[in-house]
Structure 1
Amino acid sequence: MEPMTLLIVTCILFVGSHLLLSHPLRAPLAGRMGERSFQIVYSIVALATFILVVQAWRGMPPEPPLWAAGDALWAIASLVVLIASILFMGSLVGNPALPAPGAAFAAQGAPRGVYAITRHPMMWGFSLWALAHALVMPTPGQFVLSAAIAFLALVGAAGQDVKKARLMGDTWRHWAARTSFVPFARQIRGTTPWGDTIPRPHALFGGILVWIAATWAHGALGYMAAGIWRWIS
């Protein structure tokens, strides 16, 4: 199998298995196997398909970039990754979309910080991360990988809306009515103040630390220098 074909196939397996096990197959399988057993199976499938994607990616031959990524584009991509890191760190606390015991309680609060930006900050963080990599590594293989990650994140987020509405009922619908799927949509419409989007300290400072560490590791692991390390290393 050609390297690009293999990468596409493994990405389809990775994305498809995640979506199927997270949504249409979750309830019947968890009901038959039990939640604990289902989580074990889900984790095994997720890890196995992820390893397949990584191996396929490593097997890709060198590809010429479709455009030159200069310092300006790297600066934009670095800023995008910083925003993605802030969204991700903010999503780890008080997130009604996560399968946590306090989800219903969290959904009753006023959307602030990253949740005033979007009710799916984690998923948009993954999507922005994928976009940034496609900007500075514009090869067909990277486009396939980035598209798979962004598709999984955003389609998965839409699936979360449906699943959470079924599981949490009016609590989730009330949360969804006070938040937006698309980042900053409510601010652009003028229904939510821009000041509400200021990240909380754990999101802002945690995101900055994650961004600094991740971009440092990018170069330390033998990949291209990224973030501030591109200019100070």
Structure 2
Amino acid sequence: MPQLVFAVAAFVGTHFLLSHPLRAPIVGRVGERGFMGIYSLVAFATLGWVYLAWQGVPEQAPLWPVGDGLWAVATLIMLLASVLLVGSLIGNPALPDPDAAAKPVPAARGVYAVTRHPMMWAFGLWALAHILVYPTPAQVVLAVGIAILALVGAALQDSKKRVLQPERWREWEARTSYLPFAAIAAGRARFGGFRPHDLAGGVVVWLAATWAHIPLAGWAAGIWRWVGA
């Protein structure tokens, strides 16, 4: 178990260090392609360490009982996470775009009305759902690491974008929110405007990902716990 804690900390910590304070000096020495090679090597090495440490953890008792109520909550959380993830893949101002400066700042609709970081919150919600229904100490360590990587990473991304695209990003921040539904609650955005692929694609991913637990993990997750497969 201590090895898993160290491995997750190494995976998350090296990502933050290489993505932010160490990126510029390394790029200055070895160039962008060299940096990407170093980044990929470190990422795969630490991820491999996480996998090996996870495999070495003995079977653990859950920290609390898990019944149908928690499974229902986690299932709905994963549906929201799936919609956010699929919706974030198209038209996401946070993703790299060399032509971003020439484009108008988009309206906050669909998943972007919910949060300006739908992809990151999808991973954060994934972590929460798995802690709820698989509450072993090892799972909590892994899920918390993923949540920190996603949600702290989103905040750091805001800081970086303010430097790279000061006017554009501040306007985008004024229309949206970091926290889910905060812009809607404040009246800066309106709920709705989801594109067909946001909802349909999200449902497909949700159904497929939860069904995949049956052959991969040996137990049913999501709605498959109740409807069968």
Q: TM tier, shorter chain?
A: over 0.9
Read off the aligned partner of 1:129 and give its amino acid letter.
W
**Once structures 1 and 2 are overlaid, which stretch shifts more, 27-36 or 89-98?**
27-36
Question: 1:68 matched to which residue of 2?
Answer: 65
Task: Provide the aligned length of Structure 1 versus Structure 2.
Answer: 228
Q: Counterparts of 2:153 and 2:104 in 1: how far apart (Å)?
A: 19
Say whether 1:199 aligns with 2:203: no
Q: Counterparts of 1:224 and 1:68 in 2: how far apart (Å)?
A: 17
Question: 1:44 matched to which residue of 2?
Answer: 41
1:22–1:175 distance in 2 versus 1, CA, 3 Å:
same
Percentage of identical aligned residues: 59
1:15–1:106 distance in 2 versus 1, CA, 3 Å:
farther
**What runs of 5+ residues in structure 1 fail to find an aligned partner?**
none
Read off the aligned partner of 1:67 and give its amino acid letter.
W
Q: With structure 1 as the length reference, what TM-score do the two structures score?
A: 0.93
Question: 2:53 matched to which residue of 1?
Answer: 56
Say whether 1:212 aligns with 2:196: no
Say whether 1:186 aligns with 2:215: no
Read off the aligned partner of 1:165 and give its amino acid letter.
R
Compute the displacement of 1:102 (Å): 4.0
1:70–1:43 distance in 2 versus 1, CA, 3 Å:
same
Compute the displacement of 1:193 (Å): 2.2
Say whether 1:159 aligns with 2:156: yes
| Maintained 8 Å contact 1:6/1:56 | yes
| Maintained 8 Å contact 1:126/1:153 | yes
**Once structures 1 and 2 are overlaid, which stretch shifts more, 116-125 or 21-30?**
21-30
Compute the displacement of 1:222 (Å): 2.7
1:69-218 equivalences under 5 Å are 69-104=66-101, 108-195=105-192, 198-218=193-213
Q: With structure 2 as the length reference, what TM-score do the two structures score?
A: 0.94
Read off the aligned partner of 2:201 and give its amino acid letter.
G
**What runs of 5+ residues in structure 2 fail to find an aligned partner?**
none
1:113–1:106 distance in 2 versus 1, CA, 3 Å:
farther
| Maintained 8 Å contact 2:108/2:189 | no
Compute the displacement of 1:5 (Å): 0.5
Q: Counterparts of 2:132 and 2:181 in 1: how far apart (Å)?
A: 22
| Maintained 8 Å contact 2:109/2:190 | no
Say whether 1:221 aligns with 2:211: no
| Maintained 8 Å contact 1:216/1:226 | yes
Q: Counterparts of 1:56 and 1:118 in 2: how far apart (Å)?
A: 34
